[in-house]
Amino acid sequence: MPEIYIYAVEGRTMDQKRALVKDVTDAVVRHFQVTPGDVMVQIMETPKTSKAKGGILFSDRPGEPGSPMTPKGGT
Amino acid sequence: MPEIYIYAVEGRTMDQKRALVKDVTDAVVRHFQVTPGDVMVQIMETPKTSKAKGGILFSDRPGEPGSPMTPKGGT
Amino acid sequence: MPEIYIYAVEGRTMDQKRALVKDVTDAVVRHFQVTPGDVMVQIMETPKTSKAKGGILFSDRPGEPGSPMTPKGGT
Amino acid sequence: MPEIYIYAVEGRTMDQKRALVKDVTDAVVRHFQVTPGDVMVQIMETPKTSKAKGGILFSDRPGEPGSPMTPKGGT
Amino acid sequence: MPEIYIYAVEGRTMDQKRALVKDVTDAVVRHFQVTPGDVMVQIMETPKTSKAKGGILFSDRPGEPGSPMTPKGGT
Amino acid sequence: MPEIYIYAVEGRTMDQKRALVKDVTDAVVRHFQVTPGDVMVQIMETPKTSKAKGGILFSDRPGEPGSPMTPKGGT
């Protein structure tokens, strides 16, 4: 109240999450005149096998392990 | 931009997901005049133990393993 | 079941929406083995004054009427 | 990518929204190693007649005009 | 915390909303061991022109005013 | 139709979830004039490492195992 949902692919560290929810909360407090205790933040992590841009799953992008676009022996 | 979220119970294969995000992206490009690179699609998979229709969890439906409505020994 | 939410800025016509929900529904039916009656689609329209990319509201982009980046008398 | 959704009751000014999406975008860029152009932020404004805390709609809180808890002639 | 979002087509009265958020809050308090003040409920109302089932917008269903499936002079 | 999404931190039992989706469904049926089969409920469970209030992740609260605010040998 406000409630903030951040959708991102998996893989961030605890320190990255900790810093992000802190700064996002501060921004909401600063601009929307609420107290920190009113602000709820959730990071919604999605596997790369379930998120796509341009119609291509993140797990299928060139360079991803197991991607059909990654050459054998490649990165 | 547009962003599309597809909520479904768990259990689809990579091929099913790959085909769906491709076709949904194409549909958005075709009808909303955007480029493929603008379209983000996420499949939000939910465990059957956390989704219900008619007030009954999917994991509790007759025939589900472990469901109180499934007779012993039956599928 | 599945449920699909499509977030887009305001301004599409009824014909565009009608065509999009039809094709998205068909794609879900085709790839996720469900019947059309199981598929719910919602278009979540957001005003340009409430959506941003790159930290800039869509209503503030150059060329938008009222945008601080649009020169006076310009489009 | 990331996509951020901020749910709040209606009533903030354009300046408040402009400042918030800017600072939230900066926070995501800083901590999640993405470029500003990758960050989409939406403010989802909800009428006070559709949002509740503690089981009480915001529009029914004491002091709100039209609230059953606001005394006649009151604020 | 918990946060509950209820998506429905437009058209419910204030009394219906008031009663629903009250009972949903009570259910969450009863079963998830939280206090009422922790529970946030939002009703997300969608126009019939933006929600579809079976690939058909609610506003296009037979009987809806303006629907192409409603005979002239019909309900 | 309606669709209800309940966001909560992980850790409720199957019995708690089963009871909650039942009572929430009943409340929607009672107040929004729909049939139970129309009501879809999803519980969206979030790890404590991804949800914050007041800018502090739930996993970092005093008393949580591994929290920097929990004294060594503490609860």
Residue-wise pLDDT for F8-46, tens only, equals 999 999 999 999 999 999 999 999 999 999 999 999 999
Residues of A with CB under 8 A from a CB of D: 1-9, 12, 16, 19-20, 23-24, 27-28, 30-32, 51, 53
Report, as residue numbers or ranges, the catalytic residues of E: 2
Predicted pLDDT at F75 = 45
User: In D, which residues are within 8 Å of A4 by CB distance?
Assistant: 4-7, 24
C16 has a pLDDT exceeding 50: yes
F72 has a pLDDT exceeding 90: no
CA dist E23 and A22 (Å) reads 33
Mean pLDDT of chain B: 92
Say which residue, E72 or A41, is predicted with more confidence: A41
Predicted pLDDT at D33 = 94
CA dist D1 and D43 (Å) reads 16
pTM: 0.92
Task: Report the pLDDT averaged over residues D58-71.
Answer: 85
C36 is catalytic: no
CB of F28 within 8 A of CB of E9?
no
Q: Residue F73 — pLDDT band, cuts 50, 70, 90?
A: low
Tell me, yes or no, whether chains B and A touch by having 3 or more C-beta pairs under 8 A. Answer: yes
Q: Residue E75 — pLDDT band, cuts 50, 70, 90?
A: very low
What would the pLDDT profile of E6-32 be if each residue is shown by its tens digit?
Answer: 999 999 999 999 999 999 999 999 999
For residue F50, the distance in angstroms to the closest alpha carbon of chain B comes to 16
CA dist C26 and B18 (Å) reads 15
Closest residue by Cα to residue E24 from E12, E11, E13, E40: E40
Alpha helices in F1-75 (DSSP H): 14-32
Residue recorded with tokens 């699909």: C4
E73 has a pLDDT exceeding 60: no
User: In B, which residues are within 8 Å of C16 by CB distance?
Assistant: 31-32
CA distance to C8, C66, D41, F62, per residue, from C58 (Å)? 11, 11, 10, 41
Best mutation target among C51, C64, C67 (most D Cβ atoms within 10 Å) is C51
> What is the percentage of chain F residues whose pLDDT exceeds 90?
80
Residue recorded with tokens 């009703």: E43
Task: Inspect the interface and report whether the beta carbons of F18 and B46 lie closer than 8 Å.
Answer: no
Task: Inspect the interface and report whether the beta carbons of A4 and D4 lie closer than 8 Å.
Answer: yes
Task: Report the pLDDT averaged over residues A51-68.
Answer: 92
CA distance to A9, A13, C12, D27, D29, per residue, from D34 (Å)? 12, 15, 30, 10, 5
Task: Report the pLDDT averaged over residues D45-73.
Answer: 89
Q: Residue D73 — pLDDT band, cuts 50, 70, 90?
A: low
What would the pLDDT profile of B22-46 be if each residue is shown by its tens digit?
Answer: 999 999 999 999 999 999 999 999 9
CA dist A64 and F69 (Å) reads 37
Tell me, yes or no, whether chains A and C touch by having 3 or more C-beta pairs under 8 A. Answer: no
Q: What strands, in cross-sheet order, belong to the sheet with A40-46?
A: C56-57, C51-53, D40-46, D3-9, A3-9, A40-46, F51-53, F56-57
Say which residue, A63 or B75, is predicted with more confidence: A63
What b/e readout covers A14-44, taking b as 16+ CB neighbours within 10 angstroms?
eebbbbbbbbbbebbbebbeeeeebbbbbbb
